[in-house]
Structure 1
Amino acid sequence: MKSLRGRAPSKILRLTILGAWALFCLLPILWFLSIGLRPRTEIILPQPLYWPTWTVEAWNMIWSDWPMGYYLRNSIVAVLGSVVIDLALAIPAAYALARYRFRLREDIGFYILSTRMMAPAVVAIPIFFLLRNLGLLDTVWALMLVYAAMNLSLVTWIIRSYMLDIPSEIEDAARTDGATDLKILVMIIVPMCLPGIITAAVIAVIFGINEFLFTLLIASTKSAYTLSVALANFTGGSDGVIYNAISMVAFLAFMPVLVLLIAIQNHLSRGLTMGAVKG
């Protein structure tokens, strides 16, 4: 009984600390939402306002005056499509770099990673002319390909690092049973690397949904605008900066990523110990 009584205060203390930390992490999100639910006249007041007026003015404006649902759809299609392309190319490439022995393997792996260190502005103009010659400008397909090309090296490197931690004895045992390399990759390596694959995919989603330069360059009309470019519509013009609309759109852009992280948090927290050789 004494041990149970001693555990109760410690449990309450842990829950209090975790609750305070969760509230601290949620404050920026709640702050953005609170600005989006306030009238613009109150946001630009020089003096602080302790009892604001709550309104859905910004919410109605972004859905009635701007095709925000269309922008949201473009963002989701472009980002998810780019992630599918990245995974389809990165998984076999990472497996080849992690398992096959060939000349300059490490140099090729570092070169793949080094392409992500290049400033995007360096290749912006060549990519623009390439997409123009292919007739892909101002399309979601162009955004999908550009996002995939930008994140492919990083996704490959992350998945490769996970594959290197998988003991080769597991693959040797599968080859002894007659399994081919393709079957080993699909049936053994991919399930064991699932936490790494999900982590790489989430990073690609975050980078893709936050991309602005290439989206602004490729999307010349509203037919291919994404949420990141749509935010620029509220930062100028005769109406000035529309702070509540900016906050509401930013909140909408953040929510899909938050929902995705919550949905796959168990996979993100799992390590590679499942692939260890035991006994």
Structure 2
Amino acid sequence: MASVRRKKGENLLVRYLILGGWALFCLVPVLWFLSIGLRPRTEIITPQPIYWPTFSLDAWHMIWEDWPMWQYLRNSVLAILGSVLIDLVLAIPAAYALARYEFRGRDDIAFYILSTRMMAPAIVAIPIFFLFRNLGLLDTIWALMLVYAAINLSFVTWIIRSYMLDIPKELEDAARTDGASDLRILWEIIIPAILPGIITAAVIAMIFAINEFLFTLLIASTPDAYTMSMALANFTGGSDGVIYNAIALVAFLAFLPVFLVVVAIQKHLSRGLTMGAVKG
């Protein structure tokens, strides 16, 4: 009995060592990036190696005092959360129709929806620019919300539909026998059952929206609608050259909210990623 416990303890220790080593491997680049943001610019661009760097808050003061970073951060949060909300409101009913209703060409329509995500976004950049210009939505958060939502809607719909296909139809048949409508079935049975999948789709859409730069650059031409990605672009040129410590610090601030969200919902996220196979 004691040998079995000792063997389990050794296996647990080895497991923790492996996971701890992997976590350290993943966190070291992030922490190194943060250390660059907290170092003087002169130490970063010097050709001589510095083994004992000095830390400074110059970049921190610069991005908060000389740049409206709070406004950029607020614009990013509003645009991303708004786009994810739009995607979920539109994708959940669409996914339910594609997963449950029998009609001609259902699978072809589902694949066509996904295929729009395979298209290069630059193809529709100019039409989208003229569309928002004619609507008077350029340099607004609303335009960023709509663009991010349009880019990710097909992918979110496909993911949620895949999870809905795993739900047994017998649950819905039993609810219909009791007189439940399709809307009530969707709200009270389907959505709670696939909640981890919905969370997974929302997180992926949020990450894609954060990484979007082309349409942000096209739509947000003034600081009123700048996001964190545009803030990063502002530090990569100009009369001051490339401000490496500011780039590193802003990139870390842009990464931190996503990291915190993933950590907060990691239980649901891990369930959503392993909930079932993606069906065509």
TM-score range, shorter chain: over 0.9
- d(CA) in 2 for partners of 1:19 and 1:184? 43
- d(CA) in 1 for partners of 2:268 and 2:102? 30
User: Match for residue 228 of structure 1?
Assistant: 229
User: Match for residue 44 of structure 1?
Assistant: 45
Structure 1 residue 106 corresponds to structure 2 residue 101: no
Shift of 1:28: 1.4
State the number of aligned residues.
275
User: Match for residue 76 of structure 1?
Assistant: 77
- d(CA) in 2 for partners of 1:7 and 1:119? 52
Within 5 A, what are the aligned runs for 1:8-47?
A: 8-47=9-48
What is the TM-score of this pair, normalised by structure 1? 0.96
- d(CA) in 1 for partners of 2:188 and 2:274? 18
Contact 1:38 1:55 in 2 (8 A): yes
- Structure 2 unpaired stretches of 5+: none
Structure 1 residue 237 corresponds to structure 2 residue 238: yes
Shift of 1:7: 2.4
What is the TM-score of this pair, normalised by structure 2? 0.96
- d(CA) in 1 for partners of 2:266 and 2:272? 12
Contact 1:162 1:272 in 2 (8 A): no
User: Match for residue 117 of structure 2?
Assistant: 116
Shift of 1:272: 9.2
- d(CA) in 1 for partners of 2:264 and 2:272? 17
Contact 2:197 2:275 in 1 (8 A): no
User: Match for residue 179 of structure 2?
Assistant: 178
Q: 1:131 to 1:271 in 2, by over 3 A?
A: closer
Contact 2:160 2:197 in 1 (8 A): yes
The AA in structure 2 aligned to 1:39 is: P
User: Match for residue 212 of structure 2?
Assistant: 211
- Structure 1 unpaired stretches of 5+: none
Question: 1:13-64, CA deviations, whole angstroms, 9 ceiling, x for partnerless residues?
Answer: 2111111110001011101101001100000111221100011111111000
Task: After the TM superposition, list the runs of 4 or more consecutive aligned residues in structure 1 that deviate by more than 4 angstroms.
Answer: 271-275
The DSSP-based 3-state class of the residue aligned with 1:158 is helix
User: Match for residue 92 of structure 1?
Assistant: 93
Question: 1:130-186, CA deviations, whole angstroms, 9 ceiling, x for partnerless residues?
Answer: 001111000000000000000000000000000011111111111111111000000
User: Match for residue 198 of structure 2?
Assistant: 197
- d(CA) in 2 for partners of 1:58 and 1:212? 23
Contact 1:90 1:155 in 2 (8 A): yes
User: Match for residue 127 of structure 1?
Assistant: 128
The DSSP-based 3-state class of the residue aligned with 1:270 is helix
- d(CA) in 1 for partners of 2:11 and 2:99? 45
Q: 1:21 to 1:120 in 2, by over 3 A?
A: same
Shift of 1:217: 0.4
- d(CA) in 2 for partners of 1:273 and 1:21? 21
- d(CA) in 2 for partners of 1:154 and 1:264? 20
Shift of 1:274: 8.7
